[in-house]
Chains A and B, each alone.
Chain A
Amino acid sequence: EAQVTQNPRYLITVTGKKLTVTCSQNMNHEYMSWYRQDPGLGLRQIYYSMNVEVTDKGDVPEGYKVSRKEKRNFPLILESPSPNQTSLYFCASSFAGGSREQYFGPGTRLTVT
């Protein structure tokens, strides 16, 4: 089944404790992206990757890191999480060029206390 998977789905952590949210897709998509969704603010793009080893900032990259070492994986790293990073996070992927239909993962609800 074609899908985007994220882990963990739920995470409660404390300020400053490094964490990684994994994202994997099995559709051979070149493009992958991370979003956060907050009430009243909609979906905001954090980082995206156009292919292996090619990443770029979205609108809200502060406090986040990403890497794209393999085509299927695009982990999101929070080196020192803070409470303002409490949010619902989505990973998405799509083919590059032509259609821009993105497939979204199920989401990761992160709470930083």
Chain B
Amino acid sequence: EDKVVQSPLSLVVHEGDTVTLNCSYEVTNFRSLLWYKQEKKAPTFLFMLTSSGIEKKSGRLSSILDKKELFSILNITATQTGDSAIYLCAVAPGDSGTYKYIFGTGTRLKVLA
């Protein structure tokens, strides 16, 4: 059975801290892994990773994928209260031509001022 597991489930940090969120997966025919940020509304896209070892960066956020060990991490440096959200990891598995996504349960991050 395809599955995506995120850890930790929740995390409380102070502004300025650096956090690392984890996403491990077991899926057939991996195609891509995506990270989303969900505040009190719809998820918004952060990164898509398809190749192992290549870091994606956007400001204070970065992510990397390890296809051999089947995991990805999302790093947030110099955290701010606006980073407080649920971070979702999703994997697109299956044969070419299918578009089925598996989401993890998310990591709830709270950043204290």
Contacts and interface: CB of A to CB of B under 8 A. Distances in A.
How extensive is the interface on chain B, given as a class? 20 to 34
B99 A42 contact: no
B42 A101 contact: no
Contact of A104 (B42, B98, B99): B42
B41 A58 contact: no
B105 A42 contact: yes
Given A42-B88, A43-B88, A104 B44 contact: yes
A104 B43 contact: yes
How extensive is the interface on chain A, given as a class? 20 to 34
A107 B42 contact: yes
B103 A43 contact: yes
Chain B facing A: main interface SS: loop
A45 B101 contact: yes
A107 B43 CA distance: 10
Given A33-B99, A96-B99, A100-B32, A41 B105 contact: yes
Interface of A: 31, 33, 35, 40-45, 48, 50, 56, 58-59, 90, 96, 99-107
Minimum-distance CB pairs A-B, first 5: A104-B42, A42-B105, A43-B103, A101-B45, A42-B103
